[in-house]
Structure 1
Amino acid sequence: MAHDTGSSLTRIFAPAKPPAGAKAGTVGEAADAKPPVVVSLSASAPAAPAPAGAPAAKSFAEVTTDARAALDANLARMKESGRTLGMGANQGSQADIDAAFQGMDRRSLHAIASNSGGLFSKDEQAFAQTVMSQQLVEATGMDDPAGFQRDPARGFLAGVRFLDTVSAEEKASDNWRLNRAVAQTNYESSMTRDHPGEKAENVDSGDPVVNFLAQTIRSKEGTWTSVHDGSYVDDLSRITLFKDGTDASGLQKARQGAGTATRDAAARIDITL
């Protein structure tokens, strides 16, 4: 059954209520304005592996502390030049958002968006979520609606690949799992619709929760608008996909499976060391 591609992605990939005055880069807005790229990480340019002898990656707690310091420094520089992100009014222009989050990688943005350590305000979280959504919109090519519609499957696959490059902390979030499941199911559906006879790539993430979400979404093909309202997701059990409670037990089992997989991976690492 065909589904409304634009509707599903507007709701899944972009915040439902971006800060007033900000160009959030949603699919619906993309036809009117191309959102700028705030951070350099993209599907076409994944982070390069660390060279031999490079210092160990920072812990997420360190990333969080650094993100707080970087955001404070950026906001201070803006204030000195008479600019503000408008936190109190929940307003900010795209130029102000760019200035506030300049120099931050995706992991830092996730620390802010997820309010790691409880160090960030609701407005700061919302702006960081907007920037992350802009990155995903650009990765899929949906900032160019005409180009995207020429081959949606390719765009969705690029979205899958982009999401697969993010940090382990982000991959453990409910927001990532929902976006990943939607990108996957849209890719597979688009391949069936637009590339009959061609074999779709294997885009299984290996995450039990993502697999369960993908299965549930497929079972409700054609009802994308009831899947998710577009807000940043910090609890999958509260999204409308599960509002009738019929799949709640399945989600719980999938979470347990994800927890087991994580513990097994940690055990393997310990043995290797």
Structure 2
Amino acid sequence: MFSAFVKYVGSSYHSHAEATKSAASSISDRSSRVTSTGSAATADADKKSFSQVAVDTRKFLDAGNQKLGKVADAGTSDQEWHGAIRIQTLDRRALYAITTNHGGLFSATEVRAAKGEVASIEARASRAVNPRGTDAAGAARTTITVLDGAGPEEKASLDWAQKRAAAQVQS
């Protein structure tokens, strides 16, 4: 069950999700494990500056808006965010670029949508390991795993440190 959870978390946060889904792993070797597809995608993503990640993310959202036929606004539904725009396919660094409005490239609506997507991913991961809500320590360990998957920019934030510390105390 736990390896299924790790695959689920990996597919929720990484653009190279197919490689993550195809590999069986445990939490202890997840960070050191790479696949031929995953290592190339991770290496390329890690080489990009955070500003370049933000610019690429802006291009991605613009392409989604073009498919949608309008600029995403407060009336944009979850179905539109996940159907035409496909916000759920963004990796962790891209979502963080949006949630922090890096470079002032993103609208308030896009920031809210990205924050909602991050919260949704964290909640789904927690429910996957603790569906009945009876294993607070397991949910906390899951939260730690999800947080540890963050990029260096997010890990440097006060919000990340507070969430990580709170989860660590509960585990």
- TM-score, normalisation: structure 1: 0.45
Per-residue deviation at 1:102? 4.6
Quote the Cα distance in structure 1 between the aligned partners of 2:12 and 2:78: 16
Structure 2 partner of 1:94? 78
In structure 1, give the amino acid aligned to 2:48: K
Q: Distance in 2 between matches of 1:102 and 1:176?
A: 20
Q: Is the 8 A contact 1:74 1:102 kept in 2?
A: no
Shift of residue 68 of structure 1?
0.3
Deviation at 1:149, TM superposition (A): 1.7
Q: Which has the higher helix share?
A: 2
The aligned counterpart of 1:149 is 133
For the aligned residue pairs, the C-alpha RMSD in angstroms reads 2.8
Distance 2:53 2:116 in 1: 19
Q: What amino acid is the match of 2:93?
A: R
Q: Is 1:125 aligned to 2:97, yes or no?
A: no
Q: Partners of 1:185 and 1:58 in 2: how far apart?
A: 33
Of 152, 155, 166 in structure 2, the residue corresponding to residue 168 of structure 1 is 152
Structure 1 gaps, min length 5: 1-36, 188-273
Change (3 A) 1:92 1:148: farther
- Provide closer, same or farther for how the CA distance between residues 148 and 157 of structure 1 changes in structure 2, counting only shifts above 3 A: farther
Q: 1:72 to 1:106 in 2, by over 3 A?
A: same
Aligned to 1:139: 125
Identity, % of aligned pairs? 31
Aligned to 1:40: 12
CA distance in 2, matches of 1:72, 1:65: 11
Superposed, which structure 2 residues align to 1:107-122 within 5 Å? 107-122=93-108
TM-superposed deviation, 1:64: 0.6
- Distance of 2:121 and 2:150 partners within structure 1: 11
What SS class does the counterpart of residue 133 from structure 2 fall into? helix
Q: Does 1:75 align with 2:75?
A: no
Distance in 1 (CA, whole Å) between partners of 2:63 and 2:112 is 19
Q: Which is further off, 92-101 or 157-166?
A: 92-101
Does the 8 A contact of 1:170 with 1:176 survive in 2? yes
**Equivalent position of 2:27 in the other structure:** none
Amino acid at match of 1:174: L
Q: Which SS does the other structure have where 2:89 is aligned?
A: coil
After TM superposition, the score normalised by the length of structure 2 is: 0.69
Relative distance call for 1:130 and 1:93 in structure 2 (3 A) is same
Q: What SS does the corresponding residue of 2:90 show, helix, strand or coil? A: coil
Counterparts of 2:61 and 2:147, CA distance in 1: 24
> For 1:70-100, what per-residue CA distance to the aligned partner results, in whole angstroms no more than 9, with x for missing partners?
0010111011xxx764x1xx23322122132
- 8 Å CA contact 1:160–1:180 kept in 2: the answer is yes
Q: What SS class does the counterpart of residue 149 from structure 1 fall into?
A: coil
Structure 1 residues 181, 91: CA separation in 2 closer, same or farther (over 3 Å shift)? farther
Change (3 A) 1:135 1:102: closer
Letter in 2 for 1:70: F
Match runs of 1:1-273 below 5 Å: 40-41=12-13, 49=34, 50=39, 55=44, 57-79=47-69, 85=72, 87=73, 90-99=74-83, 100=85, 101-141=87-127, 147-187=131-171
On the 8 A contact 2:126/2:143 being kept in 1, the answer is: yes
The alignment covers a number of residue pairs equal to: 139
CA distance in 1, matches of 2:169, 2:71: 40
